[in-house]
Structure 1
Amino acid sequence: MTKNFKEFDDSSDDNSSDMSMEDFNSDNDEDEEPNHSNEEISKPMEDDAQIDYEDSEDDDELVRAIKEEKNKLRDHPPSITSDDFIVDISFNPIKNIIALANIVGDVLLYEYSNDETKLIDTHELHLQPCRSVEFDDDGLIMYTTAKDKAIMATDVTTGKLKHCYENAHNEPVYTMLTLDNGKLVTGDDEGTVKLWDMRKSDPIFSLKIGEDHISDMVTNDAQKYLVCSGGDGILTSIDLKASKIYTTSEDYNTELTCMGLFRSDTKLLVAGTNGKLYLFNWKQFGLHCDEFIGYKHAIQCMVPITQNIVVSSGEDGILRAAHMFPQRQLGIVGQHKLPVECLDISHDGQYIASCSHDNDVKFWNISYFESIESLIDVNQKQNKRRDLSNNLPSSSVKNASDFFSGLL
């Protein structure tokens, strides 16, 4: 079973000499060869010069193409490199700010633009490694959890601590999800889920739904049902209004790692460490309605891009896009050298950010997906091997055919 980092917290010279005029004349005298006109003598030299000129033109075209590739205008923020391992990232839903939670218990806030990523604040919040960071819907409150079992709410503007729940769980909190009206749901390492209201000192409810960690949680706009994926391979849904378990799925014999909603929240996509993707109808969480063999490696994180397109990543460090209805591999969005820990999408939908085990956060401009989606031919037979290796416009690696097409 693949373990997420949160579970174990503690880069010719052709050497031919030219003939002198004396040698040329002496040869003519000695051999008494017929005299040649200047035009005849210079013709081979002109041909050679023409060939050299054409070669030079070709070289210039290549150099020009390389320079153009290098000088293209930046369309995404520069990467962020951290001194400490980054456990989680979260975009602010209102401003161009991204939060980075790290292994020493701090949260770093960066302001980003196409030109720069600037550190604007550092919050030293937890005594042990952070596990999760999220903003509320207004982008004014930042929630954090850590291995120290605490839940903290910090004012983004002032940096002041607004709420602190010490020992919120008996076990370290693994993941959390913000809800409307100052509510928060948390899941820990031993399968316990709690619903919190920031206006109250105790949780609204506490439910033990499994024996392994809660890897991810998701709900729709109605916020009636909360779906939890677990390390035990079981999908559990909770009725938030009734404060009780709604359904429990079959055992999928693989760690379920991440989830996403599609088709106006009517479809739930769930990924596992076996590289498969399971599709569920909303409210029908007992058994999947479709299954896709995604990749040969574990999928650790995903982020919905449109109503039909998902970007996922994991052990191999490659961010891949897929269209789910119908299922089509679209290609590579970006790449890291080491496994990717998590993904998030900016408030305007222009960028996604990814963090990996080499302590960096990279940004990818994904605005092109709006045009790609309308061009997908549902009747066209897919070449999965080709599409899996196809580099999309945001990728830091370009397809050879794309680069040299301008030279032909």
Structure 2
Amino acid sequence: MAVDFKEFDRDTSDDSDDSMNDVSIDEDIDENSPDEHSEISENENHDDSDDEDEVVKAIKAELTKSRDHPPTIITEDFIVDICFHPARNLIALANIVGDVLLYEYGNEENKLINTLELHVKACRDVEFNDNGDTMLSTAKDKVILGTDVETGKLKFCYENAHDEPVYKLSSLDCNKFVTGDDCGTVKLWDTRKSEAVFTIKIGEEYVSDVVTTEAQKYLACSAGDGILTSIDLKASKIYSTSEPYDAELTCMGLFRSDTKLVVGSSIGKFYLFNWKEFGLHSDEYTGHKHAIQCMLPITQNIVVSSGEDGIIRAAHMFPQRQLGIVGQHNLPVECLDISHDGQFIASSSHDNDLKFWNISYFESIDTLINVNEKQNKKKDLRNNLPSSTVKNASDFFSGLA
């Protein structure tokens, strides 16, 4: 079911980037108790270092470098969605009261440059179009707005765009975008036209995410009913539907030059599909023990994802390998996005906070993954990634002794 953020109520928390989740990393690090982890000796650590692979060496080398990133943004209201500008150091924050905040971000400070009071009900999604001159937003009020980024003036408005509140909006180019609502209706829009180009009913549950390739022939749609539906954008009709899954399909990402589709679920599994073969997944991977709420393709092979436990994790999909913890929040993470230059990701949580993580090191790590090498899961999970403020697992548990 779609989450109604309008009723969500909680206290804000002024945690800093150096704060640490007190409880949630242990269950994903190992099934052993803290006492068993505390017995890790210096000799064992020395033995591990002798046979470290190149990935671990690269991670440890990055840990000695300063990780420059913008400071945390704390807001008064719950952040429902975020979006980086495609060409500038701007980020949009859509909140539960219907406003969109525009920040200019930098390593030293973040500057609020505009507060746009756009919707009368909770925002659901905010996106920039391809050239970045228009910001698209939608809300529980069923309205879709296009706002000029420079002036803040309204460029277009679709009132009662759907019969039900819009859950997901995705920009396709400078003029076209796609929306999906709480009850399974998908619409294609062209800002040069007064009505939707087409309307297709794909199910009865909320449309959680929509993804297409550069060719824009097929649109993949994930939904709360556990079915992956693809739409032929040229023919304006359903192309295929998958077998139903015993979980909500929550988010998607494209990999391997748009030949692989990875779908996240409410049971913590990733389902891997070949593009255009949407009937049944070709592989699956358990990436979390909790629901996956959001994901980001960082490279052609690496996904960053998060959800209910507030931990942001990185995994290599080809081959499947856990890389470690990118960052963390004290409460569930609602959304992720990546900056135009690929240097930062931003994450927002139920704490009303937006955090930035410097992930530029992924480029070098991706090239070092050995497809034929057997994974040492225990060793990988003891080496958290340079962006994370969580200490290495062995050090963390030793401190509890």
Q: Same fold (TM over 0.5)?
A: yes
**Residue 83 of structure 1 is aligned with which of 76, 81, 84?**
76
Look up the SS of the partner of 2:97 in the other structure: coil
2:67–2:358 contact (8 Å) kept in structure 1? no
Shift of 1:379: 3.0
Percent identity over paired residues: 74
**Residue 276 of structure 1 is aligned with which of 266, 269, 274?**
269
Does the C-alpha gap of structure 1 residues 402 and 379 become closer, same or farther in structure 2, counting only changes over 3 Å? farther
C-alpha offsets along residues 340-381 of structure 1, whole Å, 9 cap, x if unaligned?
A: 000000000000000000000000000001111122223332
Shift of 1:293: 1.7
2:130–2:173 contact (8 Å) kept in structure 1? yes
In structure 1, distance between residues paired with 2:309 and 2:170: 27
Number of the residue aligned with 2:375: 382
After TM superposition, the structure 1 stretch with the greater mean CA deviation from structure 2, 284-293 or 305-314, is: 284-293
In structure 1, distance between residues paired with 2:121 and 2:93: 15
Number of the residue aligned with 1:198: 191
2:382–2:394 contact (8 Å) kept in structure 1? no
Q: Note if 1:370 corresponds to 2:363.
A: yes
1:6–1:174 contact (8 Å) kept in structure 2? no
Number of the residue aligned with 2:349: 356
Number of the residue aligned with 1:157: 150
1:303–1:310 contact (8 Å) kept in structure 2? yes
Q: Note if 1:96 corresponds to 2:89.
A: yes
In structure 2, distance between residues paired with 1:78 and 1:396: 14
**Residue 116 of structure 2 is aligned with which of 98, 101, 123?**
123
Which amino acid is the alignment partner of residue 108 of structure 1? Answer: L
Number of the residue aligned with 2:293: 300
In structure 2, distance between residues paired with 1:196 and 1:305: 28
C-alpha offsets along residues 283-320 of structure 1, whole Å, 9 cap, x if unaligned?
A: 11111111112221100000000000000000000000
In structure 2, distance between residues paired with 1:381 and 1:326: 10
Unaligned residue ranges in structure 2 (runs of 5+): 14-63, 397-401
Does the C-alpha gap of structure 1 residues 237 and 141 become closer, same or farther in structure 2, counting only changes over 3 Å? same
Look up the SS of the partner of 1:373 in the other structure: helix
Which amino acid is the alignment partner of residue 399 of structure 1? Answer: N
Which amino acid is the alignment partner of residue 220 of structure 2? Answer: V
In structure 2, distance between residues paired with 1:349 and 1:360: 21
Number of the residue aligned with 2:388: 395
Which amino acid is the alignment partner of residue 243 of structure 1? Answer: S
CA RMSD of aligned residues (A): 1.9
Look up the SS of the partner of 1:310 in the other structure: strand
Number of the residue aligned with 2:238: 245
Which amino acid is the alignment partner of residue 326 of structure 1? Answer: P
Number of the residue aligned with 2:336: 343
Look up the SS of the partner of 1:202 in the other structure: coil
1:4–1:300 contact (8 Å) kept in structure 2? no
Look up the SS of the partner of 1:252 in the other structure: coil
Q: Note if 1:209 corresponds to 2:209.
A: no
Larger proportion of helix: 1
In structure 1, distance between residues paired with 2:109 and 2:254: 32
1:9–1:129 contact (8 Å) kept in structure 2? no
1:321–1:329 contact (8 Å) kept in structure 2? yes
Shift of 1:103: 0.2
Does the C-alpha gap of structure 1 residues 74 and 369 become closer, same or farther in structure 2, counting only changes over 3 Å? closer
Does the C-alpha gap of structure 1 residues 169 and 253 become closer, same or farther in structure 2, counting only changes over 3 Å? same
In structure 2, distance between residues paired with 1:349 and 1:319: 17
Does the C-alpha gap of structure 1 residues 226 and 7 become closer, same or farther in structure 2, counting only changes over 3 Å? farther
Look up the SS of the partner of 1:371 in the other structure: helix
C-alpha offsets along residues 134-193 of structure 1, whole Å, 9 cap, x if unaligned?
A: 000111100000000000000000100000111100000000111124011100000000
Look up the SS of the partner of 2:380 in the other structure: helix
In structure 1, distance between residues paired with 2:138 and 2:84: 16
Number of the residue aligned with 1:225: 218
Number of the residue aligned with 1:260: 253
Which amino acid is the alignment partner of residue 227 of structure 1? Answer: A
In structure 2, distance between residues paired with 1:355 and 1:273: 19
Q: Note if 1:322 corresponds to 2:315.
A: yes
2:78–2:351 contact (8 Å) kept in structure 1? yes
In structure 2, distance between residues paired with 1:390 and 1:235: 35
In structure 2, distance between residues paired with 1:229 and 1:386: 34
Does the C-alpha gap of structure 1 residues 115 and 181 become closer, same or farther in structure 2, counting only changes over 3 Å? closer
In structure 2, distance between residues paired with 1:258 and 1:76: 26
Which amino acid is the alignment partner of residue 370 of structure 1? Answer: E
Shift of 1:251: 0.1
Shift of 1:4: 4.3
Structure number with the bigger relative contact order (C-alpha 8 A, sep ≥ 6) is: 2
Shift of 1:396: 1.4
Larger Rg: 1
Unaligned residue ranges in structure 1 (runs of 5+): 12-70, 404-408
**Residue 106 of structure 2 is aligned with which of 103, 113, 117?**
113
1:301–1:342 contact (8 Å) kept in structure 2? yes
Number of the residue aligned with 2:165: 172
Does the C-alpha gap of structure 1 residues 153 and 351 become closer, same or farther in structure 2, counting only changes over 3 Å? same
